Amino acid sequence: MTGAASSVPLWSPPSIDYRSIDGTGNNTSHSDWGSAGSHLLRGASGAHYGNNIESMGGAGRPSPREISNALFDQRRSILSSVGHSDYIWTWGQFLDHDLSLTPAAGTELLPIPVPLGDRFFRTNGSGPTMIAFTRSVFDPQTGVSNPREQMNLDTAYIDGNTVYGSDAGRAGWLRTLVGGRLKVTSTAQGDLLPYNDGTIINAGTPEKPNFSTALFVAGDIRANEQPTLASMHTLFVREHNYQAGRVGRDNPGFTDEEIYQHARKIVIAEIHAITYQEFIPALLGPSGLPPDTGYNPSVNAGIAQVFSTAAYRLGKLPLCQRGARPRSGFAQHPARPRPWPTRFQYHTRRSGIAAQDTLFADYFGRLYCGTTGKIVWQCGQY
């Protein structure tokens, strides 16, 4: 084609067929960009610490709780005007956990003052005066003579971290190493996520610590956070094993590794398709994203501080005060008697989160940083 040579991009696809687990090599010009363990990116204005290095800024400003109460002082539930179901925030959280993870360091406590008259905590002038909060993990090579930099322990790419993990140890533990399949807990009603054997870290609670064998294990440590999230993890482990079975039947000469990688590639593509063809148009409208102009290796695809800690928190706003369950399909594992959903389908099932209208409510903002157990702990954790 005449003139085509001048438009040929400098970048060419990598010779490898599959993504790395930790995100390295995605950008062949900058191999570490967007990989697990990268710094969260900052805007042009840089860091805004109190001492320009590591101390908390905002001295003299109102309590974060006071600001939250002012912004989200909502006295009634507001239904989605376009008929979104609870899948909008369920997918939003599942996607969030594919992109970023910055846990609490656990060593720097920074409790948040609760103002007098807080209508959820201190309605009668009594109640808790502080909300537990802990500062995030950071690169130990920063924060002394240069600004402290927080880290993203996930890959920044939409690459199925939630299903496969973002480090070799977790990814290996999740595999059966037979037929390309992932581990599951088999029940009469269907396969669930595998339970921890006490060796894999999770985001636990005071009641069920990080290595508790009462917790499921998935690609992301937060899979047990709430039932609809655990359901999405379960759905995609089942999908991987379905695709692995299909790939194995169609390619009888494939090794376990080849089946696993082929099935993984398909599942990642499905996550892409749902995100870009369904979730983002539902969230931002049909013109929410500008047209794709092609791959640009000079753009760092890492996660920005402002996106991770502020902009994408919107995924936790449009949700309901109570989660609906499917009318049937719940089973109790004999060793761990608690209900978990065992059937979540893509087709329109008039029950559970697919049939429940989403709400824009301040209930979650009031409860999420609550005063007991898991909820407090998670506030500083993520």
pLDDT at 10 over 50: no
Q: What is the pLDDT of residue 143?
A: 96
pLDDT at 329 over 50: no
Q: Has residue 376 got a pLDDT over 70?
A: no
Superfamily of domain 81-102+155-198+214-286+302-321+340-367: Haem peroxidase domain superfamily, animal type (1.10.640.10)
Residue 95 and residue 158: Cα distance in Å, rounded?
8
pLDDT band for position 323 (cuts 50, 70, 90)? low
Give the tokens for residue 42: 């900052």
What are the domain boundaries of the chain?
Answer: 81-102+155-198+214-286+302-321+340-367, 104-151
Write the pLDDT tens digit of every residue in 153-180: 999 999 999 999 999 999 999 999 999 9
CA–CA dist 304, 156 (Å, integer): 10
Averaged pLDDT for residues 139-150: 96
pLDDT level of residue 349 (50, 70, 90 thresholds): very low
What is the C-alpha separation between 307 and 352, in angstroms, rounded? 30
Residue 259 pLDDT class (50, 70, 90 cuts): very high
Average pLDDT, the chain: 81
Tell which residue, 345, 272, 352, has the closest CA to residue 19.
272
Q: Give the pLDDT confidence score for residue 315 in this predicted structure.
A: 61
Catalytic positions are 97
Are the CB atoms for 21 and 164 separated by under 8 Å? yes
Amino acid making up residue 234: T
Q: What is the pLDDT of residue 9?
A: 39
Q: Which residues pair with 359 in a beta bridge?
A: 79
Give 239 or 75, the one with higher predicted confidence.
239
Cα distance between residue 265 and residue 235, in whole Å: 16
Over range 126-139, report the average pLDDT.
Answer: 89
Strands 330-333, 336-341: pairing is antiparallel
pLDDT at residue 16, rounded to an integer: 59
The per-residue pLDDT for range 70-112, each reduced to its tens digit, is 887 877 777 878 888 888 889 999 999 999 999 998 889 999 9
Q: What is the pLDDT of residue 322?
A: 56
Contact present, 203 and 222 (Cβ < 8 Å): yes
Range with the poorest average pLDDT among 113-117, 228-232, 323-327? 323-327
